[in-house]
Amino acid sequence: TEIQQERPDGGNILTHPDYIDGNPDLIKPKKLLNPVKASKSHQELHRELLMNHKRGLGMESKPELQRVLEHRRRNQLIKQKKEEEEAKKLQSPFEKELLKRHQRLDQVELNNSDSSFLQLEKEQEKQEDHAPEFIKVKENLRRT
């Protein structure tokens, strides 16, 4: 029997392969094995997927470990938010006042450090004023 039939108008869509002639001397080609499909791990994974499909477990469902980890993370975030809210509620007026004073002190320290920096710059300018004229001219030349 022929696998492919010729069209009545005389035009062939596909050509006939040489090995269909039935010549016993010719070696018939065999389909090559796919090394991925032949591997043991691929076969086990395929078997597991088929079993899950038969049981009705879809690919959308997450593995148990991933579900547990996400549940733990979610619980930790909720717990942390609750603790923060409780900490804010439990702050007494005394603690709030201490916090305000601490912030004011920090601002004063920043202002003092800025003013000390400004004082250092002023001292350097005074030293430059006492420098000889040729040094000032030389510095101006370097800047330009």
**Highest-scoring range by mean pLDDT, 5-9, 58-62, 116-120:** 116-120
> How much is the pLDDT for 64?
81
**The total number of structural domains that make up the chain:** 1
Q: Where are the alpha helices (DSSP H) in 12-92?
A: 35-38, 40-55, 64-90
pLDDT digits (tens, 9 = 90+) for 114-139: 677 777 777 777 766 676 777 777 77
Higher local confidence (pLDDT), 132 or 109: 109
Structural domain containing residue 112: 92-137
61 φ/ψ angles, rounded to the nearest 5 degrees: -70, 140
pTM beyond 0.85: the answer is: no
Residue type, 68: V
In a domain, 105, yes or no: yes
In a domain, 46, yes or no: no
What's the distance, CA 126 to chain centroid? Answer: 55
